[in-house]
Structure 1
Amino acid sequence: MAWEQVQKALKDHLGDSIYNLWIDPLECVSYRADEVRLACPDRFYRAHLDRNHLATVQQIVTELSGNDCKVILCDKETAILPAAQPKGQLRLPHIPERKSVVRALHPRYTFDAFMLGESNLLAQSACKSMINGDDTVGSCLYINSSTGLGKSHLTHAVAHALLADSPQTRLRYVTAQQFASEMVRSIQSRSMDTFKSVYHDHCDFLLVEDIHSLQGKKKTQEEMNELLDALIKSGKRVILTANNAPRDLKGIDNEFRSRMGAGLVTTIQAPDLATRYRIVEHKAVQSGLNLEEDVISYISQQIQGDVRRIESALLSLSAKATLAGGAVEMDMVRDVVAEIVGLSTNLTTTLIGEIISREFNVSYKDLQSRSRKKVISFPRQVAMYLGRKHTEESLGEIGKVFNRNHATVLHAVKVVSELCRCDTSVRRQMEILDRKMAEM
């Protein structure tokens, strides 16, 4: 941010007469991230400005800088000149001064640390496309998911990437609640022109989290809708996150709903078993835990959905293992998992399908497909067989998991049962899988 930007905002806010008399004569002698030093013509001028207009100057400097940048008045005769600038690349006059305003970023929420799977591949690819300016996604990306599935991780990763690789990009990263609070303060202080200027004129990339928190806030929705329209039309990029798709948000104006859904709308689903396994493995290393494969498998099978519960389990496991002398026992793991998700998870055909997809190295999506290839059809039949044996679900319910009818499930049970009777290798394989199911 430059002093010229503050001057323009003050002129809009105070009007020409007050600006020309009390602001224009000021000389900016020092402008740092935490302090602005302004030289006044004399001490009488300084006293009047301090009494009548300093609060307004301070407010606008704070809003434009995005931090607690203190404004200090001094007399021109005693003004302290700014220290020599460090050597480095100079900014060309036509290049906007970099000033990004972001939330505190989690150091581990980067693209490298994001565990990819079928459930989140599209969202991650879309975020990278937005950073690269790829027109495939468009100017607006809307990501929705339940809590703890990676929305914040992706938005933090976008911010990390922009700040590291495109420092000239003016990024503004806020929650919808922060945006609403800023707007309310601007209305109360009669500085909406400055507020609009910050987002409309000094923003190249906008990240807004938890857009669902604007439900019922009609005025804020109108302002956000106007902002999105202006940014998108000018080729700027926007990423929004929420807990539901635009069409499912309650208390949202239809025009605003339409604007949010104008670009790519993508959903992050709960991670499948294979992705959860990699998440547990990765986060265990980060926590300094050396876990055996059976422990990683157990945690990934039992803790589904919210990834934060996996983090909580590993944190608790690390603490208990330290107190126990560093050893991680299976009984300790079961106790920790029970504290997080309750008693052992009831086995379902869906969970069995995820386990089988990992055991046979095929995707869960393939098991639900129409493919009749043996490398897919046999694991599907095994999953149906185990679903019938280890759950109370009906043939129809089991078939629905794999997009099949009850007759197909009955046929799968007969095929696997016959193979167990006449093929020793298949029988032993089923015995191993039966033990795994019984341990859950």
Structure 2
Amino acid sequence: MIWDKVKENLKTTMAENIFQLWIEPLQFKQLKGDQFILKSPDRYFSAYVKQNFAPSIEKQLAENGLEQSRVVICEEVASKPVVPVVRKQKPAARVQMRLPNVPANNSKYRNLHPRYTFDQFMVGESNILAESACRSVAVSDGLVGPCLFINSGTGLGKSHLTHAVAHKVFAESPMTRLHYLTAKQFAAEMIHGIQTKTMDDFKRKYQENCDILLVEDVHSLTGKKKTQEELNDVLDMLIKSGKRVILTANSAPRDLLGIDNEFRSRMSSGLVTSIKAPDIKTRSRIIEQKAMQQQLGLNEELVAFLASHIKGDVRKIESALIALRSKAQLTGGYIDMDLVREVVENVVGVGQGLTAAMICDLVSIQFNVSVKDLQSKSRKKIITVPRQIAMYLARKHTEDSLADIGKAFNRDHSTVLHSIKVVSTKLVRDTSVSAQLDILDDKVSQL
């Protein structure tokens, strides 16, 4: 069977523990046209394998005679047996028993944001892996390995997810010994322990009396060798004891400067994942949810305008909606497009929206071709590839119609549609194209 051969080859190209964790559980389901369909345990597993191993699997398939096959990973939904309908009392939610006088929510963690829960977190392509991994850690199913590391820019949801884990753990297992703090707070506690000669108590707190440790902003430990050593010892003890650890930072472990190599290795011992800026669909859902919380009535047009002009940091959305509510109250409560434009320009600091022409300029610089070439009728590969990528990016990052994008390149809408399909196909099949577009996406978001 081809899947068995593919697995044998993959086993020789990756570490044994990685193969056992991510490849061995996959099961062949069927070959349907050009789709080589594999079955995985759950959506989190599917997302991670697709992101990290699909290109390697497709390469092995090609070497075994399936050159055009594309890997599709799905989750098997177990069929439920038909049973007689019996009316019975709904079972109570499963929660951990606790001793008398123990607070249900471990109230010493008053700094947990009440709305930072899983239910309030908007899941999209940019964060589905991080969200699923945090749910996995919260229920302790062991899927993400000994340590989860999440990195992202500011305001994209790292703190929301760590708070959500704490909320879920306290709600379902109130006796869990959970410690949630920033890396700076950890460093301050350590210094206090040294000054007061209570380091034994400090070590005991984190190494022995801890079931789950959540540490935010690990990048703040840059250059602090003693604190890194102490936290590394804590991680080593917890990981060996089968405890749960979540770390967050603004960069992946390999990109953190001034970090000890042993500490860096320990942080990378489990799943390392990132949160990207939300796409326009996710931003629209975030705006709708937060507008509801602010009791703002926004129609589809206003939501679409806000979503297309406010990008990156989700806190910008909150800032805009707070300003919108304040201005609306001062003007009698009526919200129209002029008011929304004013808020976007003055509060969020975004003026003219992104256009296909702006993206055309950026792509011409990146590929070292002129805008005139991109707008020409040339069919040379060195021109057509950048042109197709520019059209794809224009469709992704602007609200322009296919016809409007076509005008920027002297093409009709059918050519734009064809270019988008070409680039979308390359994204799935070619990891180098995917990496190149990730870089361009970041540059476009900065325009």
TM-score interval for Structure 1 and Structure 2 normalised by the shorter chain: 0.5 to 0.7
In the alignment, the residues of structure 1 paired with residue 192 and residue 256 of structure 2 have an alpha-carbon distance, to the nearest angstrom, of 26
In the alignment, the residues of structure 1 paired with residue 324 and residue 300 of structure 2 have an alpha-carbon distance, to the nearest angstrom, of 15
Give the aligned partner of residue 285 of structure 1.
292
In the alignment, the residues of structure 2 paired with residue 272 and residue 102 of structure 1 have an alpha-carbon distance, to the nearest angstrom, of 33
In the alignment, the residues of structure 2 paired with residue 98 and residue 314 of structure 1 have an alpha-carbon distance, to the nearest angstrom, of 31
Give the aligned partner of residue 353 of structure 2.
345
In the alignment, the residues of structure 2 paired with residue 209 and residue 299 of structure 1 have an alpha-carbon distance, to the nearest angstrom, of 30
Q: What's the offset of the Cα at 1:276?
A: 0.4
Q: What's the offset of the Cα at 1:349?
A: 8.0
**Aligned counterpart in structure 2 of residue 219 of structure 1, from 226, 232, 239:** 226
Does residue 324 of structure 1 match 2:342? no
Give the aligned partner of residue 51 of structure 1.
none
Aligned positions of 1:158-173 closer than 5 A: 158-173=165-180
Q: What's the offset of the Cα at 1:189?
A: 1.1
Distance 1:322 1:136, change over 3 A: same
Aligned positions of 1:6-405 closer than 5 A: 91=99, 102=109, 104-339=111-346, 340-348=348-356, 386-390=404-408
Q: What's the offset of the Cα at 1:246?
A: 0.3
Q: Contact 1:103–1:173 at 8 Å: present in 2 too?
A: no
Q: Contact 1:175–1:209 at 8 Å: present in 2 too?
A: yes
User: What RMSD, in angstroms, separates the aligned Cα atoms of the two structures?
Assistant: 3.2
Unmatched 5+ stretches in structure 2:
1-96, 361-391, 411-415, 427-447
In the alignment, the residues of structure 1 paired with residue 175 and residue 135 of structure 2 have an alpha-carbon distance, to the nearest angstrom, of 17
Q: Contact 2:105–2:170 at 8 Å: present in 1 too?
A: no
In the alignment, the residues of structure 1 paired with residue 107 and residue 359 of structure 2 have an alpha-carbon distance, to the nearest angstrom, of 44
Distance 1:282 1:98, change over 3 A: closer
In the alignment, the residues of structure 2 paired with residue 349 and residue 179 of structure 1 have an alpha-carbon distance, to the nearest angstrom, of 49
- The normalised TM-score by structure 1 is 0.60
In the alignment, the residues of structure 1 paired with residue 354 and residue 305 of structure 2 have an alpha-carbon distance, to the nearest angstrom, of 14
In the alignment, the residues of structure 2 paired with residue 343 and residue 99 of structure 1 have an alpha-carbon distance, to the nearest angstrom, of 46
Q: Quick one: which amino acid aligns to residue 111 of structure 2?
A: A
Q: Contact 1:98–1:169 at 8 Å: present in 2 too?
A: no
Q: Contact 1:144–1:245 at 8 Å: present in 2 too?
A: yes
In the alignment, the residues of structure 2 paired with residue 245 and residue 350 of structure 1 have an alpha-carbon distance, to the nearest angstrom, of 30
Q: What's the offset of the Cα at 1:342?
A: 2.8
In the alignment, the residues of structure 2 paired with residue 155 and residue 163 of structure 1 have an alpha-carbon distance, to the nearest angstrom, of 12
Q: What's the offset of the Cα at 1:386?
A: 3.8
Distance 1:316 1:231, change over 3 A: same
Q: Quick one: which amino acid aligns to residue 190 of structure 1?
A: K
Q: Contact 1:186–1:195 at 8 Å: present in 2 too?
A: yes
Distance 1:216 1:168, change over 3 A: same
Q: Contact 2:309–2:350 at 8 Å: present in 1 too?
A: no
- The C-alpha deviation readout for 1:318-351, integer Å capped at 9, x for no partner, is 0011111110011010000001133122324899
In the alignment, the residues of structure 2 paired with residue 187 and residue 154 of structure 1 have an alpha-carbon distance, to the nearest angstrom, of 32
In the alignment, the residues of structure 2 paired with residue 90 and residue 297 of structure 1 have an alpha-carbon distance, to the nearest angstrom, of 47
In the alignment, the residues of structure 2 paired with residue 291 and residue 229 of structure 1 have an alpha-carbon distance, to the nearest angstrom, of 50
SS at match of 2:327: helix
Q: Quick one: which amino acid aligns to residue 346 of structure 1?
A: L
Distance 1:168 1:237, change over 3 A: same
Give the aligned partner of residue 366 of structure 1.
none
In the alignment, the residues of structure 2 paired with residue 254 and residue 225 of structure 1 have an alpha-carbon distance, to the nearest angstrom, of 11
Q: Quick one: which amino acid aligns to residue 355 of structure 2?
A: L
Q: Contact 2:98–2:175 at 8 Å: present in 1 too?
A: no
Q: Contact 1:225–1:256 at 8 Å: present in 2 too?
A: yes
Larger radius of gyration: 1
In the alignment, the residues of structure 2 paired with residue 212 and residue 108 of structure 1 have an alpha-carbon distance, to the nearest angstrom, of 26
Q: Contact 1:209–1:241 at 8 Å: present in 2 too?
A: yes
In the alignment, the residues of structure 2 paired with residue 109 and residue 351 of structure 1 have an alpha-carbon distance, to the nearest angstrom, of 35
Q: Contact 2:181–2:215 at 8 Å: present in 1 too?
A: yes
SS at match of 1:304: coil
SS at match of 1:276: helix
Distance 1:257 1:384, change over 3 A: farther
Q: What's the offset of the Cα at 1:103?
A: 5.8
In the alignment, the residues of structure 1 paired with residue 350 and residue 177 of structure 2 have an alpha-carbon distance, to the nearest angstrom, of 46
